[in-house]
Amino acid sequence: MSNPKSLKPKVHQIITLALAALTIVFLVFYGSLPVSYDYEVGSIANQDIYAPRSFADTYETQRRAIVARDTCADVFVRSDKQSQESIDRVDDFFDLAEQARKNVTQGRTGQTPIKPADAASQLSVTVEQSLGVKIPSENIEVFFDTGMSNTTFTYVREKTTSIAELIMLGDVSDAVLHTRISEQITSFSESSPSYSKYADAMSVVLSSILEPNTVYDQKATADSANNAYIAVINEPVMIEKGTKLVEAGAIVDEHVYSNLVELELIRDSSFNLIIFARTFVYVLVISACSVIYLNIERKKLKVETPVFYLLITTFLVTVGTSVYMSTLSNLLCIVIFFAAVCSTYIGTQNGIILSVINLLLIWPMYGFDPEVFFINLVGIILCSIFAGRTDKIINNAALIFFPTLGTIATSFAYNFFIGNARTEYLNSLVFTFISTIASLVAAIGLSPIFELVCNVASPVKLISMSQPGQHLLKRLFLEASGTHSHSMMVANLADSAAEAIGADALLCKVAAYYHDIGKLENPEYFTENQHGGVNPHDSLTVMESVAIITKHPEDGVKLAKKERLPNAVIKIIDEHHGTTYPSYFYRKAVEDAKARGLEPPDVNNFRYRGHIPSSRESAIVMIADTCEAAVRSMKTSDVESAEQLIRVLIKDKIDQDQLINSGLSFDDIEKIVIAFKQVYAGVFHERIKYPE
């Protein structure tokens, strides 16, 4: 069952996270609000206004769509009826012409011969009366020429009718009718040169009789106009970011006003619920992703309360300052400041993930500018890699130099790829340099204050504590050399085990250095520090000895607090013996009681007054401490014997419920045993015997 006291900090942290998320919503909302203007249609602009983002010009798009719709050409479709009527009229013309030719032939054999000109004139009148078409007589006089036989007439008639049918097969409007006739007549003349003298007459007949065969289609015209309108609407006019919308001193017309409204640049006294809803959903989605990640990593990510509040504070500071800095320049961003702080205290991976979340939250304030995202993403990755290293102390100059170099290179590459002007190059490089340098210098400069306030085990702090010249380690070496040697060996075991199971190896190693500093109060009362066969416990009662032995974790905690060691190290000092008891003195007390005929003493009076391990790191130090002391006292040099002893000791800790809160699994235990075995294999290796 969970301890209510352990749940209380979690409740506080959940409430804090909820309040922080709500604060971020309002900060991002106000930071994302564009600069607004108190203009109306007809107002005079008092400054140049540029588009803060790319957008669709609704006003111009609508205007063009209406123009496209209203200027759409009428749709005409071919009419079979009109086509056939034109062909029939051509055929009717030649019927009349054939009858007229017969009259001319009969007149030549009769009393009064008919002249070709008169016959043509008479045919012209007949055609006009019958077909309603006026054809000049001089153009058709050739049909009555004495040189034109009936066979030739029939041929010309068939060709003319065929041409009419061919023309009427397609869509023929007024604009193309005469062109089509001319093309066909020309083709006829070229293919039948002996009949070319009739071509002009055929052309006149066709031009006079044939009519366009297309009719106006109202529905198709309406559909075409609607399609033209929709096509323009679907391809809106885009105004790119940075485009000047209106110059200072110009009149704000309806078009400009529409664009300002579209960009939400017109001042409105009411609360902008739409932008707030967008912001809320955006922050909610990113927060949900953050919660999922933190829930998955919760077992590995054990953050002390001071560090938790430090990260929340720096996170909010980054978001809050972006509200103002984004108005100065799109490249003034201090998210790298949070990356440096975050990675220092909770590692590279967590630093990158949480810093990217921080960057995503402030991104709307910068108008979702891709340049600010890419530059700071590179800066976050490089900064987290250097700030989160735990294998060695990273020089502050390197921590500043490499992320700065990386962001400047990214800025140059981005502008080169986009093809920006030289001024934009310089502007980007300058602001990128200022932002990165300021962020890293601030993080490094404030780190002593952070460590003082939080008293946490940051990698830098732990590595500094591991140096041999550190005050307590020097005291341990001089005043309790046996304990110092023991602690060094415990550190090697703990470091190897932590790496094997993926725990914090640096914390384990440094905590092992300091886990027995409480023995500095009475170093001679511990076996490893005794010399010359003198044992002070010989002059003490069992309970007096137990009081001194079991008090060293408490003394260690007091000394650690006095020296302001990190809380994580203090906790391991307190927990490294848990609630076990020194079995040697308990057995001695049992034997004494038995010799006196008394009941065995209560074992609880012999227990250490600490707490059982609450983390994997604390449990590792406990196991390493127990195993190192036991193996040393057994004076064995056999790896297999050492392994058996280690397994017995770990089982004893499990039986005493010392590891129930540690988070160690049986798989972890097995890996720890193997890691210890490898360390002892190196310790027990045989050396070449040197000659005397």
Given a contact cutoff of 8 angstroms between Cβ atoms, the answer to whether 436 and 407 are in contact is: yes
**For residue 458, what are the contacts with CB-CB under 8 A and spacing of at least 6?**
344, 345, 447, 451, 566
CA-closest candidate to residue 118, choices 94, 133, 132, 101: 101
Q: Over 80: is that where the pLDDT of 486 sits? A: yes
Beta bridge partners of 246: 49
Least confident of 176-185, 389-398, 597-606: 389-398
Q: Which of the four pLDDT bands, split at 50, 70 and 90, describes residue 514? A: very high
Q: What is the DSSP letter of 577?
A: S
For 61-129, strand residue ranges (E) read 76-78
**pLDDT tens-digit series, residues 588-605:** 888 888 888 888 888 888
Q: Which of the four pLDDT bands, split at 50, 70 and 90, describes residue 25? A: confident
What is the per-residue pLDDT for 359? 93
- Mean pLDDT of the 310-320 span: 90
Q: Which of the four pLDDT bands, split at 50, 70 and 90, describes residue 2? A: very low
Q: Over 80: is that where the pLDDT of 609 sits? A: yes
- Mean pLDDT of the 35-40 span: 76
What is the per-residue pLDDT for 418? 79
Least confident of 59-63, 256-260, 263-267, 359-363: 263-267
- Mean pLDDT of the 233-250 span: 87
Instruction: Quickly list DSSP for 246-309.
Output: E-TT-B--HHHHHHHHHTT-B--SS--HHHHHHHHHHHHHHHHHHHHHHHHTTTT----HHHHH
* Distance separating alpha carbons of residues 390 and 351, to the nearest angstrom: 13
What is the per-residue pLDDT for 557? 92
272: exposed, middle or buried (C-beta count within 10 Å: 0-12, 13-18, 19+)?
Answer: middle
- Provide the percentage of residues in the chain whose pLDDT is more than 90: 25
Which domains, and CATH codes, for the chain? 4-30+272-456 (no CATH), 76-216 (no CATH), 462-683 (1.10.3210)
Least confident of 8-12, 81-85, 318-322, 350-354: 8-12
Q: What is the Cβ-side half-sphere exposure of residue 602, based on CA atoms within 13 angstroms?
A: 2
- Mean pLDDT of the 342-363 span: 89
pLDDT, mean over the chain: 85
CA distances from 3 to 17, 50, 578, 606, 691 (A): 22, 59, 18, 26, 64
Q: Over 60: is that where the pLDDT of 11 sits? A: yes
Torsion of CA 41, 44, 46, 49, to 10 degrees: 40
Given a contact cutoff of 8 angstroms between Cβ atoms, the answer to whether 358 and 286 are in contact is: no
Least confident of 43-57, 376-390, 451-465: 451-465
Q: Over 50: is that where the pLDDT of 661 sits? A: yes
